[in-house]
Amino acid sequence: MFEETCLPLMRGKGQAYAGPKDALGNFKREGERSGISKYTALRVYAHKHEDAIDAFCREEYTDTEPIHLRIADAINYLFILYAMYLEDVREGIHPLPTSGHRGADPPGAQEPSVPGAAGA
């Protein structure tokens, strides 16, 4: 499902909305324009799809966009949120949890070590 529906949808819409340089650019720009965080901008956009899914669950969905695409969009927003978080972790904005949490660092949170580099 992800490779067949979500990924092509994300790639197509991502290029249209974010542009070629920064996949998260539209959320950052909207946050700056509106005086909100990029995370809040993402949530505002995601709510549109969540509202549609809620209407579907209540058997009140009348939108012309097929519900499976709304569901795929909602899934994609969670991947985008994760990418946004990891970007902030790498930039030192959000620290990684150090205690009371299971598991290791999230994949992609740490820069890969380069063989032969100092400290590698």
Q: Could you tell me the residue range of the domain that residue 67 belongs to?
A: 2-90
On whether the pTM is more than 0.75, the answer is no
**How high does pLDDT run on average in the chain?**
81
**Of residues 32 and 110, more confidently modeled:** 32
The answer to whether residue 117 is domain-embedded is no
The answer to whether residue 98 is domain-embedded is no
Q: For residue 23, give the DSSP letter.
A: T
Alpha helices for the chain (secondary structure H): 7-18, 25-34, 38-57, 67-90
Structure confidence at residue 75 as a pLDDT band (50, 70, 90)? very high
Asked whether the predicted pLDDT for residue 96 surpasses 70, the reply is no
The answer to whether residue 52 is domain-embedded is yes
The answer to whether residue 95 is domain-embedded is no
**Of residues 23 and 105, more confidently modeled:** 23
Overall domain count for the chain: 1
Asked whether the predicted pLDDT for residue 104 surpasses 80, the reply is no
The answer to whether residue 16 is domain-embedded is yes
* Token couple for 63: 């939108």
pLDDT of 117 = 37
The answer to whether residue 75 is domain-embedded is yes
- The answer for residues whose C-beta is within 8 angstroms of residue 52's C-beta and 6 or more apart is 61, 63, 65, 67, 70
The answer to whether residue 15 is domain-embedded is yes
The answer to whether residue 104 is domain-embedded is no
Q: How big is the chain, counted in residues?
A: 120
pLDDT tens digits along 30-65: 999 999 999 999 999 999 999 999 999 999 999 999
